[in-house]
Structure 1
Amino acid sequence: MIRRLFRRQKSRPLTEAELAHRLIDPGYACTCCGEVLNAAAGAVWPTAPFGWTNPPAPYPDDAFDTAGRDVLTENYARRGGDTLLRAYLPIPVQGTETQVFLGVWCSLKVGNHARFRSAQARGDADRMGDMFSWLYTQLPAMTGPLLTEGVLTPYSQGRLPLYWITAEKHPLYRAQQDGLTASEILALYRDMGCGDLVDHLIA
């Protein structure tokens, strides 16, 4: 009897449409704990640029110019002569009109980095236009290229810029053009260390 009861209560597999809904709905709450997950933006959020082992706690952004040669702030970093910043890497969710946004680190030349920080503080960074940038987050985490060419697109009102991969051999180049299924995005989330979030999404 108990065995039959548990067999009846076994949850059905989630369809791609339901997975996509849970993934992109900013108000979706986990069925097991009630936590609002907001999984589409910033679920992947690397603490520091690739290769920075045991990074320190970040300073506020306004300490970037005074905190020393190597510095990590909430949205910027400088290490070994590289000037870096946070951005979102968008990937369309197939079957929807929506994207997910992976947090990444990327580079700008020293002069462009300084200009961007000033424009970002003013809220008019969108006037800078697209800029060449190297991706400093390994995607996928264990198999992706260490450095990848791309373009950084700034936005107004202090919003994080977007990062577009231009290296056609990168495993996510085509994903940014054509999108991924919800299942493929959740597999990428697991690869990037977000397994707990995925477990809540599929519960």
Structure 2
Amino acid sequence: MTSEHAAFIGLDTSKLKISVAIAEGERNGEVRFLGDISSEPTSVAALVKKLAKRGVKLHFCYEAGPTGYGLYRQIVELGHECSVVAPSLVPKRAGDRVKTNRRDAISLARLHRAGELTPVWVPDEAHEAIRDMVRARDAAFEAQKQARQQLNSFLLRHGRYYTGRKAWTRAHGRGWHLKRSIIPRIKFCSPNIVRLLRVPEFVLID
């Protein structure tokens, strides 16, 4: 099917709504804004169904971002092509600094028709789950590291410090410098410190 028998749809996505624009397949074909729809899957399905009645091949695209890949998967499952593109590689016109949802959707549709967008790899749900787990794990370790630093500083200010070989072990938790007498003061510190004292690997023992 040639581009004359295709339509290119640019989607500017956000949490609650999607701005939609369409570029007709011809090189100099019309590019117009269709409006905003809810980001709910039912609204997306209704949009796709309506556009499919045109009887041309549909090519959707939107920028990668915080809304994730659910929209991509839904469109593909409905039998249409969809590209998730890298925002940093979207061509910008010189001097064009005004950004609106409408203009961004129109720009995406036009650039998609011209073949000037760079798609990113879209992970399947299994890969995405692993990626999310790794990110959550890294964030948890970073939060734990910061909490430990805060706790060490707090204890040092109160004349308590650990002299053993390896800190943050059960032996550390049994250290004389971590008695319940100082716990009331800890409650007024960062919540991260309080949470740290409750994790299994570091149990306070009176």
**Which structure has more helix as a fraction of its residues?**
2
Q: TM-score normalised by the shorter chain: which range applies?
A: under 0.3
Q: TM-score, normalised by structure 1?
A: 0.22
Q: Which has the higher contact order (CA 8 A, sep 6+)?
A: 1
* Structure index of larger Rg: 2
